[in-house]
Amino acid sequence: MNAINKIAPYSHWFIRLSLAGIFLYHGLGKFMAAEMMAKMMMMPIGMVYMAGMMEVSGALLVLWGGFGRDWATRLSGLIFSMVMIGAITMFHWPQWSFVANEAKPMGGMELQLLVAMVGLYFFTKGNKIVSAEA
């Protein structure tokens, strides 16, 4: 347990790095294939670029926030939540399925819901992590 307690103050990086990776991958992908994505998503190309910009900026902010910038962590959480709530309402909710299946291969919103809630957590808590020990 001693080794685990030693790394505990740095465990926020597990979440930060995974979120940054997800949003960098998807955000940069939108810039690379904006026209195709706009057609596939049936939305204006400008919205695809805006979503990509939000995703990339959120990824960079959550990383920067890890070095002590509370406002950057909070802003990244707000951005992540907005992007995910948009994805849920625009694409996943109309198909209403928590998980993808044969009938709804693009269904499944469990990942989007989890990321939205983690974003809300970062937005409300910032860098102030509450210890389990009092």
Tens-place pLDDT, residues 41-77: 889 999 999 999 999 999 999 999 999 899 999 999 9
Domain chopping of the chain, boundaries: 2-125
Task: Name the amino acid, one letter, at 131.
Answer: S
The mean pLDDT value for 81-100 works out to: 79
CA distances from 84 to 7, 52, 55, 76, 127 (A): 30, 12, 10, 12, 21
Q: Give pLDDT tens digits for 109-125.
A: 788 889 999 999 999 99
Residue 82 to residue 5: CA distance in whole angstroms? 34
Q: What tokens were used for 37?
A: 């994505």
Residue 35 to residue 43: CA distance in whole angstroms? 10
- Mean pLDDT, the chain, integer: 88
Residue 52 to residue 43: CA distance in whole angstroms? 13
Which range, of 38-42, 52-56, 81-85, averages the lowest pLDDT?
Answer: 38-42
In which band, very low, low, confident or very high, does the pLDDT at 98 lie, cut at 50, 70 and 90?
low
Burial class (CB in 10 A: 0-12, 13-18, 19+), 30: buried
